[in-house]
Amino acid sequence: MSRTSTKVRNFATKVIDVDVALTEAEAATADVVSDFQTFDVNDRSEPAVGTINYIMVIDKDDKGIQLDIIFSDKQSAPVLGTDNDVVAISDADADTIIGRVDTGATYVDLVTSKVVVPSAFSPIPFSTANGTLYVGVVNRGAATTWTDAGGITLRLGLTIE
């Protein structure tokens, strides 16, 4: 007996580093650390379907602050808010949020930097018409001033159909 609706698909696993654009000013609790910025999930600017399965935060500024990492699949730049100010996302942009990951505050200290792998989370599915997603970061810990504009890297593990 055969199934007529069976589909076989190829999946690719990809690791992407996103250097979070920071300003060197204080971000209070609930402030935007970095407004949405784009990252490509493929090299061809073509439609892509997949999931975000893994996140590691590399904090080269050695702060170890709890962060919310927010993902959007809007096809034009969404706005989370002004860096170092309270979150001010529109309802239309909030409708494009596909997932949120809380880093927690349990960083591993590596002397001059810290890393954290957030607790297990459900994979975040995405479907993008142009191969691009957006990521923004909100401070959930104590007020913090980053001293390195490239002080945070998000290492994302994706599965792409």
Confidence (pLDDT) at 74? 93
1 band by pLDDT with thresholds 50, 70 and 90: very low
Listed by start position, the domains of the chain span 12-160
Query: What is the average per-residue pLDDT within 137-156?
Result: 90
Class of domain 12-160: mainly beta
Show the 3-state SS of the chain: CCCCCCCCCCCEEEEEEEEECCCCCEECCCEEEEEEEEEECCCCCCCEEEEEEEEEEEECCCCCCCEEEEEECCCCCCCCCCECCECCCCHHHHCCEEEEEECCCCCEECCCCEEECCCCCCCEEEEECCCEEEEEEEECCCCEECCCCCCEEEEEEEEEC
Kindly report, residue by residue over 13-61, the tens digit of the pLDDT: 899 999 998 888 889 999 999 999 999 998 878 899 999 999 999 999 9
pLDDT in tens, 63-94: 999 999 999 999 889 999 999 999 999 999 99
Residues 78 and 115: their CA atoms lie apart, in Å, by: 28
Q: How confident is the model at residue 8 (pLDDT cuts 50, 70, 90)?
A: low
